[in-house]
Amino acid sequence: MAKLKITLTKSIIGQRTAVKATVRSLGLKKIDSSVIHDDTPAIRGMIATCAHIVAVEEMK
């Protein structure tokens, strides 16, 4: 299964509550922190919610 590296690129200060909760549930805490998740539809939906403040890379 493919993996995704998700990096928080901007602050969550001033974001909607739903966006903040999604970022936290992805496991991101500080700017430039990264996590690796499996590429599933649930994770893709979470990324779509906060796409304006995260960067996504596909890993092999």
CA dist 4 and 57 (Å) reads 6
DSSP label of 15: -
Average pLDDT of the segment spanning 41-49? 97
Q: What is the mean predicted confidence (pLDDT) over 32-39?
A: 97
CA distances from 54 to 3, 27 (A): 16, 12
Q: Check residue 49 and give its pLDDT.
A: 97
51, pLDDT greater than 90: yes
Residue-level pLDDT at 60? 80
Over pLDDT 90: what percentage of the chain? 97
pTM: 0.92
Structure tokens at 15: 């974001």
Which comes out higher in pLDDT, residue 25 or 1?
25
